[in-house]
Amino acid sequence: MPLTDPDRLFPADPKVRGLARALYEAVANRPIISPHGHCDPRWFAENARFPNPAELFVVPDHYVFRMLVSQGVSMDDLGIARNDGRAVVQDPRLIWQRFAEHFHLFRGTPSAMWLNHSFEHVFGIDAVLGPQTADQIYDQIEAQLAEEAFRPRALFEQFGLEVLATTEGALDDLSWHRAIAESDWGGRVITTYRPDAVVDPEFEGFAENVVAFGDLTGEDTNTWDGYLAAHRARRAFFRAHGATATDHGHPSARTENLSAADAGALFDRVKNGDTTAEDADAFRGQMLTEMAKMSLEDGMVMQIHAGSRRNHAQQVFENFGRDKGFDIPGRTNFVGALKPLLDAVGMEPSLTVILFTLDESVYARELAPLAGAYPALKLGPPWWFHDSYEGIKRFREQVTETCGFYNTAGFNDDTRAFCSIPARHDVSRRCDSAFLAELVATGRLREAEAFEVAEDLAYALAKSAYRL
């Protein structure tokens, strides 16, 4: 019995299952468009081997280790480095053993499906991970990681990636992307402009970041105009390294559309990072609209990932830093929050703003009605916790009736777990096939149309929405 069921995620009813399978088979081997994610471009620049199973699957993946933490395993025992850079436990086999002992915690979760998919389809494993099988599976993965075929570039090709977008901060020198471009390797790895560190007055080191932003671009970031010019310069630099999109991770979807004078005055108040919470929030909101206006000029697709309350556990943040599994979603308002941006540029058909949410209650109430009306808006796929069987089902069920399929932007994996990329796109393709088969079975879509839509959801929509 394989680790993953060949008919997984298809409806149980035999007839509907047959149609879902046919739809899936039509798109299963299409190239992967990965227009948004957090892989490290260095992997593809250096093409070095991945260090070991624990550092491939556990240590860098806060999706995974926070589940063990939630059941009382300490971060120290999982090899998570403290802020001083020191990991208390470093033996990867010990970490792996602990992971294996707690693997049952993932029952019923997408993490289990992604991990099993990677184990089976990338590393050829057929045993369920557990205390008894931990060592054998460790050895098997470890041996394969030493092979040429398991280096990053080889896996990139094996995975069928047509394009992979990474995400870099505004101050990044993009040297790894340059190295990839200058190499003899043909894989398309592009960057994305993510300026949070120079846009959010509450970001650690914001004031210094703004100074560095000026140094990097030769613009006078002490003035509002110079600061905007620096953004334009960096956006052009990122585009020269393949970027077709920007990305913005804000606590809320608040936007503002101030006059130039008011925006400049606001910038003067926040530029030293020493400001009120309200000014900081307003400035983030103003910058979303500025970014949208620049997108209208330079054609970059704009992504807004709103609503994560980052670093919720103070103690974890102080001891271990960011991205440690304690980013918790909160209620997010889009209808009022986006109005200033939309009144400014929302009716522009040449602009594309892709919205993501962690608050599913807005799918049907706010996002689908907005995307089903404004030419500039599209909906990104289910994000983060919702990139799963039930999550994708809820998304399709709640948005399709109001905004259809063509106001959505295909799938993206948004992952830093490289080996999970095929698994995630496979889940998406299966879930969409299942949804389409249900539509046909209940007379809501004709079968021939379902095949066209399946292709659009698996491949074409991501490519066109991100202008790839």
Interaction residues for a copy of itself, span 297-316 (CB under 8 A): 309, 312-316
The Cβ of residue 186 has, within 10 Å, a number of other Cβ atoms equal to 8
107 lies in the site for a copy of itself, by CB under 8 A: yes
Cβ atoms of residues 409 and 380 within 8 Å: yes
- At its nearest, how many Å lie between a copy of itself and the CB of residue 463? 17
Q: Which of 360, 413, 426, 432 contacts a copy of itself by CB under 8 A?
A: 360
10 lies in the site for a copy of itself, by CB under 8 A: yes
Closest to a copy of itself by CB, 231 or 378? 378
Cβ atoms of residues 306 and 359 within 8 Å: no
- At its nearest, how many Å lie between a copy of itself and the CB of residue 456? 10
Closest to a copy of itself by CB, 54 or 377? 377
Q: Which of 247, 359, 413, 426 contacts a copy of itself by CB under 8 A?
A: 359
The piece of 31-39, 274-282, 417-425, 441-449 that touches a copy of itself (CB under 8 A) is 441-449
375 lies in the site for a copy of itself, by CB under 8 A: yes
The piece of 190-198, 219-227, 261-269, 449-457 that touches a copy of itself (CB under 8 A) is 449-457
56 lies in the site for a copy of itself, by CB under 8 A: no
The piece of 38-46, 110-118, 234-242, 266-274 that touches a copy of itself (CB under 8 A) is 110-118
Question: Edge-to-edge, what's the strand order for the sheet holding 32-34?
Answer: 32-34, 161-165, 189-190
- At its nearest, how many Å lie between a copy of itself and the CB of residue 447? 9
Q: What are phi and psi of 142, to 5 degrees?
A: -55, -45
426 lies in the site for a copy of itself, by CB under 8 A: no
442 lies in the site for a copy of itself, by CB under 8 A: yes
Q: Which of 171, 373, 455, 464 contacts a copy of itself by CB under 8 A?
A: 373
Distance CA 334, CA 340 (A): 11
60 lies in the site for a copy of itself, by CB under 8 A: no
Site string (123-142) toward a copy of itself, x via CB under 8 A = -----x--------------
Q: Which of 25, 48, 70, 175 contacts a copy of itself by CB under 8 A?
A: 70
Cβ atoms of residues 357 and 306 within 8 Å: yes
Q: Which of 189, 291, 301, 358 contacts a copy of itself by CB under 8 A?
A: 358
Distance CA 36, CA 207 (A): 28
329 lies in the site for a copy of itself, by CB under 8 A: yes
Cβ atoms of residues 382 and 409 within 8 Å: no
Task: Using the structure block, give the residue that is written with the tokens 């990122």.
Answer: 238
Closest to a copy of itself by CB, 294 or 316? 316
Count of alpha carbons within 13 angstroms of residue 384, beta-carbon side: 18
Closest to a copy of itself by CB, 199 or 445? 445
Residue 69 CA from chain centroid, whole number = 23
Closest to a copy of itself by CB, 219 or 432? 432
438 lies in the site for a copy of itself, by CB under 8 A: yes
Closest to a copy of itself by CB, 157 or 397? 397
Site string (382-421) toward a copy of itself, x via CB under 8 A = ---xx-xxxx-----xx-xxxxxxxx--------------
Distance CA 367, CA 374 (A): 11
Nearest to 451 by CA among 2, 19, 10: 19
453 lies in the site for a copy of itself, by CB under 8 A: yes
Extract the tokens encoding 114.
């992604």
Site string (165-204) toward a copy of itself, x via CB under 8 A = ----------------------------------------
Closest to a copy of itself by CB, 281 or 360? 360
325 lies in the site for a copy of itself, by CB under 8 A: yes
12 lies in the site for a copy of itself, by CB under 8 A: yes
Q: How far is CA 282 from CA 91, 278, 340, in A?
A: 46, 6, 12
List the interface residues with a copy of itself, window 13-42 (CB under 8 A): 13, 15-16
The piece of 26-34, 188-196, 233-241, 368-376 that touches a copy of itself (CB under 8 A) is 368-376
Distance CA 33, CA 22 (A): 21
